[in-house]
Amino acid sequence: MATGNHISCGPCMFDDVTKDAGRWCTNCEEGLCEDCENVHRKGKTTRNHRVISIEDYRKIEHVSISQVCEHHGENLEWFCKSHDEVLCVVCVPSKHNACSDVIPISVNSADSRQSTAFSDLEETINGTLRNVKQCIRNRESASNELEKQELEIKTMVHETRTNINSHLDRLQEKLLYELRSSSDTCKSKYIKLLQKLKSTEEMLTKVREQTTHMKQFSSDIQVFLGTRQVSRQIDREVESIKSEFDATKDYELKVSMHSLITKLSNDVEEFGKIMVSESATNFDLRAQKFDQAQMKINVQRSRSILDIQLQLIRSFQIKSKNEIRVIGCIILPNRNLLIANKKDNHLIEYSDTGEHIRDIPVSSKPYGIAVIDPSRIVVTYGEYSYIEIMNYENFNVQKNFRLPKNCWGVSHADGKLYVVYGDSIQVLDVSGRQMKTIETASMRVTRINVTREKIICSDWEQKKVYCCQMNGKKLWQFQKNSMKFPKGLTVDNYQNVYVVDFISENLTIIQHDGSASKTLLTSLDGLRFPSDVYYDKVTNALLICNERGTVSLYKVL
């Protein structure tokens, strides 16, 4: 019996004596003090019992194993091999009386530690534990992604508010400018009349003064003539003023606010709406049998390429002061688009919404680009025969190394770089150490994609796409009349191959085993001179770039 941290001796407890147990009998399932252990070992029925230390018992005390039949309450002592069931003395005659292979459980359990069933159980537990850890990592990743989305939305809200404020500032400035201009125009008309009236006022003041002097000092004839002349002058001035006043206008300044501005201030009660969308977790957790570890995660089943369709998300044209000749493209882990321009020493970064982010200066004219991990990319420089590994957030070069021959297309898998190298494929680690050379079935390979121990290559000279093993042995090849100049290629989650043809101007999907194909896009869909294609296995997005700088992003359905 266990009390706190102590385990009491079972036989002593039967005699109402409390003594700490030093050993544990797994058969009797009770503790034994030193004296009782000696008696236990000498007893005819207990001498073969398995006795272990208390320290070892502590390791299994929480393992719940019942040795009693749940139906009859008797000890489980028999085993039916035909039905793979453990039985008590009541089960045998009631349900297994006709079974010829009912044996004592002690006989069948003798080698249970080395049994296949126990090995399978261990494998099942280890496999399940691995899967649970992967599930934990998946949920942690989902949580991190949620935080990232929250940050993106906050940034979007702040940016939208800033943009709205800036736009309102510009509209306000424009309106106030129109107000000043209108007010100045009206005031200028008022001022013109005021100046005229003040001039008349000054003239009349002088005439009045002159008339007074004329009355005092002039002769009668002068007064007679002056009266008539001044009267005519006054009449003309009065007529002029009357004419001016008849033509003048009164102005009133008002403002008519734009209906959307008024609606924003009065009717709009939400800055936006947060929407939570639900989708099935991309996990395939299968039930396990006792004798086999069957749980699998992220098992991708083959699907017919006939079911695959593309939905255009957006398309835009790269804006650049320099000449554009797109040679490669990828989707970065942050979902931004990275494009290699062979006509300029730059990589071009765009958001997946089509907004230009920056031009990244690089050492020379880039050719191939590929993602290594969530923080690094690799860039090859074709005829310049060297490779650079960069941090994709700041595009600082972390490592560069030269090769004796031209290095064209590049792919990354399992910590290794696979580079089209002259007329072969060179395998390197990320430090630049050359590990092995794979001879290809073609002399004109420029683009490759490595996935699941297979290498997919496009051969522009022989107008075909082929798949080979890691030793270069060809598994299958694909060729048809519409394939005239295959260039960029990529592979989806089901190992299907997408390839763009520069001359035929189409996008073809090839079944994972090369047995079938389907044309997904043609020039009628706006596909002109396509140079590269990239499939993002996280978002199921397909990025296509043409040589002249048109970028199209599709959802693979």
Write the CATH number for 21.
Answer: 3.30.160
Can you give the pLDDT at residue 374? 80
Q: Tell whether 123 and 238 lie within a shared domain.
A: yes
Which burial class, exposed, middle or buried, applies to 468 when counting CB atoms under 10 A from its CB (0-12, 13-18, 19+)? buried
- Residue 141 maps to a domain: yes
Per-residue pLDDT tens over the stretch 287-333: 444 333 333 334 344 457 888 999 999 999 998 877 899 999 999 98
Domain count across the chain: 3
Can you give the pLDDT at residue 287? 41
Single out the residue in 65, 82, 107 at which a domain terminates.
Answer: 65
- Residue 287 maps to a domain: no
Q: Tell whether 367 and 428 lie within a shared domain.
A: yes
Q: Write down the residue that tokens 């309106």 correspond to.
A: 175
- Residue 165 maps to a domain: no
Whether the Cβ atoms of residue 23 and residue 51 lie closer than 8 Å to each other:
yes
Q: Tell whether 132 and 53 lie within a shared domain.
A: no
**The domain containing residue 9 runs over which residues?**
1-65
Read off the amino acid at residue 311. Answer: Q
- Residue 277 maps to a domain: no
- CA distances to 151, 155, 340, 405, 419 from 327, rounded to whole Å, are 33, 33, 6, 19, 16
Q: Tell whether 466 and 513 lie within a shared domain.
A: yes
- Residue 164 maps to a domain: no
- Residue 503 maps to a domain: yes
Q: Tell whether 316 and 424 lie within a shared domain.
A: yes
- CA distances to 10, 14, 25, 259, 378 from 17, rounded to whole Å, are 9, 7, 19, 93, 75
Q: Tell whether 4 and 130 lie within a shared domain.
A: no
Q: Tell whether 458 and 516 lie within a shared domain.
A: yes
Q: Which of 10, 30, 528 is nearest to 315 (CA)?
A: 528
Distance CA 348, CA 319 (A): 10
Q: Which of 477, 553, 482 is nearest to 510 (CA)?
A: 477
Ranges of residues in the chain with a pLDDT under 70 are: 1-4, 64, 108-117, 119, 279-303, 441-443
Per-residue pLDDT tens over the stretch 232-256: 888 888 888 888 888 888 889 998 8
Q: Tell whether 244 and 390 lie within a shared domain.
A: no
Single out the residue in 266, 297, 332 at which a domain terminates.
Answer: 266
Q: What are phi and psi of 32, to 5 degrees?
A: -135, 130
Q: Tell whether 244 and 356 lie within a shared domain.
A: no
Can you give the pLDDT at residue 465? 92
Q: Tell whether 194 and 310 lie within a shared domain.
A: no
Q: Tell whether 315 and 251 lie within a shared domain.
A: no
Write the CATH number for 485.
Answer: 2.120.10.30
Whether the Cβ atoms of residue 429 and residue 420 lie closer than 8 Å to each other:
no
Token duo for residue 417: 């770089």
Q: Which of 53, 49, 52, 29 is nearest to 39 (CA)?
A: 49
Whether the Cβ atoms of residue 380 and residue 374 lie closer than 8 Å to each other:
no
Single out the residue in 266, 290, 319 at which a domain terminates.
Answer: 266
- Residue 424 maps to a domain: yes
Rg (CA), the chain: 45
CA torsion sign, 400 to 406 to 409 to 412? negative
Q: Tell whether 5 and 125 lie within a shared domain.
A: no
In 235-350, beta strands by DSSP E: 310-317, 326-331, 337-341, 346-350
* Percentage of the chain exceeding pLDDT 90: 28
- Residue 82 maps to a domain: no
Q: What are phi and psi of 304, to 5 degrees?
A: -70, 135
